[in-house]
Amino acid sequence: LVYLEEQVVNGNESVWTLLPQSFFSDLGTFQYSYNHTYYDINLMMYGNFNLQLLPTNLTLGQRFRIAILPAAYAEQNPEAMSDMNALMRDAQTFTNF
């Protein structure tokens, strides 16, 4: 799973959004997305306009978190996939990797 740090609130608390995620601007629609294999991951942006027109704060310096989970956990806790904080909390209890 890949999460985008969408904003920081209260000075230091990150708000993480599960990808893919679409955004709407005056220029059009754009999306952060990803794909992966067993060996690697690719982070991508798609849009219905020239992405070079986006302000650099949307294209550079973005923070992502990548979570590699045991399949059994993902199957048993599908609701936890959308909440990065819950996922990080639960990860401390993972055993038998």
| DSSP letter for each residue of 27-66 | TEEEEEEEEE-SS-EEEEEEESS-GGGS-GGGTSS--EEE
In this prediction, residue 95 carries a pLDDT of 62
pLDDT at residue number 25: 94
Residues 6 or more apart whose CB falls under 8 angstroms from that of 48 comprise 28, 29, 30
pLDDT for the residue 67? 87
Contact 32, 43 (CB under 8 A): yes
Contact 43, 64 (CB under 8 A): yes
Of the chain, the percentage scoring pLDDT greater than 90 comes to 62
Res 73: pLDDT: 77
State the pTM of this model: 0.80
Task: Collect the ranges in the chain with pLDDT lower than 50.
Answer: 97
Q: 24 pairs with which residues across the strands?
A: 29
